[in-house]
Amino acid sequence: MALEAACQQREIGVAHPRLPLPEAGGEDRPEVFLDWLGKAIPMVNAMGIQHMQRDGDQLSWSLALDPNLNDKGTGFGGALTAQTTLLGWCWTTLWLRRRGILRDVVVATASQKFLAPVTADYQMICMPAESGAAERLAEQLDQKGRGRIALAQQLWCGDTLCLEASGDYVVLK
């Protein structure tokens, strides 16, 4: 019912209001950002995100497996793919917000490699794919007003790496 209510609040073709920027030099509180994200993208409420944390250049989520089960009782590849794509979008959006920049972010490319079945609650981690990528994005934004960054995501179920993903995220003018 909560997902149904969230979907009814949104109108197709109408952008969801932006979350106000945090104070200068500040960070978004994870619970505030995730609450906004669930309203902006209703399917987020069904993804099982339990916790979000940033550590340096890494953004991580802790997720419950239950809402992401497939018919075999393991993680559903489509749900896991959506989560990796969204985590990269969040990484880019939060990176911009810490710098006081409100811009639209879109995914340009995404790919996944499934390595092992997901059989319990899991953690996803997102980081720049290459050293210096965030600095290059900042330079692109300064010079052109738009930019692109390659990000890498990993899904860990305990000590087992179950999924590697990558995506290119574009910051629009």
What is the DSSP code string of 49-111? EEEEEEETTEEEEEE-SGGGB-TTSSB-HHHHHHHHHHHHHHHHHHHHHHTT----EEEEEEE
Q: Is pLDDT larger for residue 23 or for residue 24?
A: 23
Q: pTM of the entire structure?
A: 0.93
By percentage, how much of the chain surpasses pLDDT 70? 95
In the chain, domain spans = 2-171
Res 42 pLDDT > 80? yes
pLDDT at 10: 80
Distances in Å between the Cα of 9 and the Cα atoms of 6, 14, 17, 40 are 5, 11, 12, 10
Distance CA 150, CA 91 (A): 11
Name every residue whose Cβ is closer than 8 Å to that of residue 53 and which is 6 or more positions away in sequence.
Answer: 30, 59, 60, 62
* CATH-assigned architecture of domain 2-171: Roll (3.10)
pLDDT at 113: 98
